[in-house]
Amino acid sequence: MKTTRSSIRVIALLLLVLALPSFLCAQSRPAADLIIRNAKIWTVDKNRPTAEAVAVLGERIVAVGSSAEIEAWQSVHTRVIDAAGKLLLPGFNDSHVHFVDGGLALDSVELNDATSAEEFARRIGERARRTPKGEWISGGDWDETKWTPARMPTKELIDSVTPDTPVFVSRYDGHMALANSVTLRLAGITSKTPDPPGGVIVRDAQGNPTGALKDAAMDYVYKIEPPLTHEQRLKAVKRALAHAASLGVTSVQHMNPEYADVAVYHELLQRGELTARIYAAPLITGVDDQVKIGVRHAFGDPFLRIGALKAYADGSLGSATAYFFEPFSNQPDNHGLLSDEMHPVSLMQDRMMRADAAGLQICTHAIGDQGITIILDIYSEIVKAHGESNRRFRIEHAQHMAAKDFERFAQLHVIASVQPYHAIDDGRWAEERIGHDRASRAYAFRTFLNHGVRLAFGTDWNVAPLNPMLTVYAAVTRATLDGKNPNGWFPEQKLTLPETIEAYTMGSAYAEFQENEKGSITPGKLADMVLLNDDIFAIDPAKIREVKVVMTIVGGKTVWDATDKKGH
């Protein structure tokens, strides 16, 4: 008995000595907190495009490799996820969202899929019956192009069903909204009210307001609409965060937040409840606020950064307020509107000069070709005045390019922050409004890449759905929503899947100065990843829009797990 025991001891010792090199090696690094193994990983890292497994320590990725290689990082304390061969991507970074509006829209009256004016009115009436006295009906995201027959809504449609409720429902593009008579009265808008610079009060043949207000004219109402309470804002952000997590969106760049939105983000950050990383770009009209603080671009925490400004050059194509050189093909007297921030253009240039001098990043909404040209002119003046630097100018939307401007875009290193979903949505009717030639340079993602312009992908949520699968689908198929272009609307502008994913991850990270922190599954980067239920590289591209998110991981923590939700 004794001898046997001691021989076992000897054998054990021998085995230990033999195993020593690998034992020492395993001890030289801490064990991973999380390992995802048996995955098909598309890393978006050119040094290692594909892998099977990833190890995470704390909030960061520590190793990427084969399942066998990554096993060395495992201990009894490691949470191991077997991905069962599913596709793992870096988390999606939406470079252009209106996050609080999006959260509010999830709870607001749903008008976007109404198919007639009657249905639009019925839904508003129904909401009015459930709305407590004194509260407003807003949001809605209506789209009259989906109605049969398509026509611009007027207050008469909804007045009878909303006799006491103020209504101010927005068109889905955010550049027009419809007020009922209660709201027009509260805002003091009559036939005598002048159109403000950068805005239009739509009027009937007698000159009376129809209730539709475009761009800066909407401010007449915003001025008197009661502001969100802190509770309403908090609730909207939480709704938006949960929605983003369920869709694999791990970072968002919030365009024109109110300062109160940023305060809510910070509150949630301190409570450990931010489940998406946020870069906030308040309106440039408040440029001096950020200049005074002295922070520069991308200042802050991995979960919350500031240091960018959002400007507006013009309106939108859908509202016929995008600023073009030539008139709209179907409106010979209208070539669009410059925004109120551009009256005069020198006002915009002064603000941008101050922003750039302070090291703040500038993100400018510009949709029409002339709107884009003017902004590129200003950007070029800024470079002349302040010299070359790593400032990463952005143009948001960059929708309808003049042929001469692609080259300038590249020379000025301007990032095209674009939304492919708009292409398959607006592509239904864009050609009627701007003609074939201009449409050939619309949403021209391939042409941008050919000129060496960097793309950042986003959705403009809540103007378009936040779901990245719809955006990926749009970029690779360009199949318009009406089914009329199954092989792609201007198919020469389609992108490949790797190009699309890169624009949506690394491209967006670059657009917020975070390409060394996120955007790819690379050791050292933040562990933001998304596991999909289907392999978008293997399936028919037409099916990409049906793909769902199985799991979303932000900073190594699971913020969405589809299997958890089953049966709830």
Burial of 100 (0-12, 13-18, 19+ CB in 10 A): buried
Pairing status of strand 455-457 against strand 299-301: unpaired
* Spatial CA neighbour of 460 closest among 510, 425, 421: 421
Q: How many Å apart are CA 318 and CA 378, to the nearest integer?
A: 26
SS3 of 69-121: HHHCCCCCCCEEEECCCCEEEECEEEEEECHHHHHHHCCCCCCCCCCCHHHHH
CB nearer to Zn ion: pick between 425 and 460:
460
CB nearer to Zn ion: pick between 422 and 518:
422
Smallest separation (angstroms) from Zn ion to the CB of 98:
6
Q: Packing angle between helix 259-270 and helix 230-246, nearest 10 degrees?
A: 70
CB nearer to Zn ion: pick between 341 and 460:
460
C-alpha dist (Å) from residue 511 to 252, 308, 455, 497, 505: 11, 11, 8, 20, 10
CB nearer to Zn ion: pick between 396 and 528:
396
- The piece of 140-148, 209-217, 425-433, 457-465 that touches Zn ion (CB under 5 A) is 457-465
Collapsing DSSP states into helix, strand and coil, what is residue 290? helix
CB nearer to Zn ion: pick between 460 and 499:
460
Smallest separation (angstroms) from Zn ion to the CB of 283:
12
End-to-end CA distance of the chain: 59
Smallest separation (angstroms) from Zn ion to the CB of 281:
10
- The piece of 21-29, 215-223, 339-347, 452-460 that touches Zn ion (CB under 5 A) is 452-460
Smallest separation (angstroms) from Zn ion to the CB of 300:
22
- The piece of 327-335, 337-345, 442-450, 454-462 that touches Zn ion (CB under 5 A) is 454-462
CB nearer to Zn ion: pick between 369 and 460:
460
Q: How many Å apart are CA 364 and CA 366, to the nearest integer?
A: 6
- The piece of 143-151, 232-240, 408-416, 458-466 that touches Zn ion (CB under 5 A) is 458-466
Smallest separation (angstroms) from Zn ion to the CB of 397:
8
- Judged by CB under 5 A, the residue of 94, 405, 460, 528 near Zn ion is 460
Smallest separation (angstroms) from Zn ion to the CB of 361:
16
The residue assigned the tokens 């109605």 is 147
Q: How many Å apart are CA 173 and CA 176, to the nearest integer?
A: 7
CB nearer to Zn ion: pick between 255 and 376:
255
CB nearer to Zn ion: pick between 83 and 342:
342
Smallest separation (angstroms) from Zn ion to the CB of 219:
17
Residue 110: how many CB atoms within 10 A of its CB? 15
Q: How many residues bind Zn ion (CB under 5 A)?
A: 1
- The piece of 160-168, 207-215, 280-288, 459-467 that touches Zn ion (CB under 5 A) is 459-467
Site for Zn ion, residues 206 to 235, rule: CB under 5 A: none
Q: How many Å apart are CA 524 and CA 62, to the nearest integer?
A: 6
By CB under 5 A, is residue 141 in contact with Zn ion? no
CB nearer to Zn ion: pick between 40 and 254:
254
Pattern 393-432, binding to Zn ion, x per CB under 5 A? ----------------------------------------
Smallest separation (angstroms) from Zn ion to the CB of 460:
4
Site for Zn ion, residues 371 to 390, rule: CB under 5 A: none
Q: Is the dihedral angle over the CA atoms 253, 254, 256, 259 positive or is it negative? A: negative
CB nearer to Zn ion: pick between 460 and 502:
460
- Helix, strand, coil in percent for the chain, rounding step 5: 40, 20, 40
* Spatial CA neighbour of 172 closest among 63, 98, 92: 98
Site for Zn ion, residues 33 to 92, rule: CB under 5 A: none
- The piece of 20-28, 434-442, 455-463, 507-515 that touches Zn ion (CB under 5 A) is 455-463
CB nearer to Zn ion: pick between 144 and 460:
460
Enumerate residues 6+ apart whose C-beta is below 8 A from 124: 109, 111, 137, 140, 158, 161, 162, 167, 169
Tell me the β-bridge partners of 137. Answer: 167
In the bound state, the residue with its beta carbon closest to Zn ion is: 460
CB 271 within 8 A of CB 339: no
**Distance from chain centroid for Cα 218:** 23
Smallest separation (angstroms) from Zn ion to the CB of 452:
25
Smallest separation (angstroms) from Zn ion to the CB of 27:
52
CB nearer to Zn ion: pick between 40 and 422:
422
Tell me the β-bridge partners of 35. Answer: 55, 80
- The piece of 13-21, 460-468, 481-489, 527-535 that touches Zn ion (CB under 5 A) is 460-468
Collapsing DSSP states into helix, strand and coil, what is residue 471? helix
* Residues of the shown chain interacting with Zn ion in the complex, contacts defined by CB under 5 A: 460
